[in-house]
Amino acid sequence: MNTTILMLSVDEAAMLERSLPAAVAQPAEVVVVDNASVDRTGELARMHGARLLRLESRLSYAAAINHGIANTEGDAVLLLNADCFLAPDFLAAALPRLRERGVGSVAPKLLRAPGPGRAGAGEDRLQIDAAGMVVDRRRKNGLVGHARRATSYATPCAVFGADGAAALYRRETLTDCALAGAEVLDPDMQLWASDADLAWRAQLLGWSSVYEPRAVAHHVRSYSPSTRAQMSEHDRRLQFRNRYLMMVKNETPRGLLRDGHLIALYELLALGHVLLRERHLLRAYAEAWRLLAGARRRRRQVQAKRRVARPPFGLRAVE
């Protein structure tokens, strides 16, 4: 199975100095999407023998990744953040799982790293960043195992999806999930939760995801349950509003019939939180409304391709 490692850099040369050598050491073609960077991204890609895709105008994360997917050909595609550092045997552990019948993606064990120079060292090595991702019955996406001990989640199992920091996909799955031609990630979502949206769509199309704890990488997480308070209001609004876009596109009548009461209760609690604690999130409702037409257009495409009546919400790695 020919493999492409697709790395995106937005002025992230400091991260690439550590993550790129680890990527090129894998048995795969490495492609760096240089998203109009003004730092040493291009120089580092050439220095390490990676293929460079240079974007002269900066795009959103989703649009830049779509460009990279469309311009590569590997049978397997590892979507890898510049701030994620692969262990030497990462693909050796992950690729056999992707060859299993019906498996569309593999979620590795991501361990928390404080920075590129300290990945895998010190106390942070004892904590999990993510053991896959989950979308629960409230339709809230989250990281499995975040901040638990690194020795936890040692059992391979089915999960809802792979976190976008390091997600190994079958090319066939990405092609199947693409909307309007080459739109794998939703450009209206820009960044946060676009990976959960893709995982949900893959489940609707009948593709399963598996968690492989022997495939290990260290990740410098910027947005997580433990860092949310330090994130900008803009990023928190983006995450908040993207959940609604994800639901509009992917929700099924059967899923809504079973879980509508849980979704409604969560919405009431969320609105109370917004009014009492984070009033800036009120703008997220307006932004979601503005993008509703695009979400409905994509919904028609998703539902026309759907093969599963109700995905396994809440499916997560075994601790």
Please tell me what DSSP assigns to residue 126. G
- Kindly report, residue by residue over 51-106, the tens digit of the pLDDT: 999 999 999 999 999 999 999 999 999 999 999 999 999 999 999 999 999 999 99
Measured between alpha carbons, how far is 91 from 72 in angstroms, rounded to an integer? 18
End-to-end CA distance of the chain: 30
**Token pair recorded at residue 317:** 């790695």
Measured between alpha carbons, how far is 224 from 308 in angstroms, rounded to an integer? 30
pLDDT top residue among 309 and 121: 309
Residue 191 predicted with pLDDT over 90 = no
- Kindly report, residue by residue over 283-293, the tens digit of the pLDDT: 999 999 999 99
Residue 263 identity:
I
Please tell me what DSSP assigns to residue 80. E
Enter the pTM of the model: 0.93
Q: Which residues of 192-226 are buried (b: 16+ CB within 10 A; e: fewer)?
A: bbbbbbbbbbbbbbebbbbbbbbbbbbbbbebbee
Please report the domains of the chain, with CATH numbers, ordered by start residue: 3-219 (3.90.550.10), 230-305 (no CATH)
Closest CA to 236 of 196, 284, 199: 284
Residue 123 predicted with pLDDT over 60 = no
Least confident of 66-70, 90-94, 114-118, 133-137: 114-118
Amino acid 289: pLDDT: 96
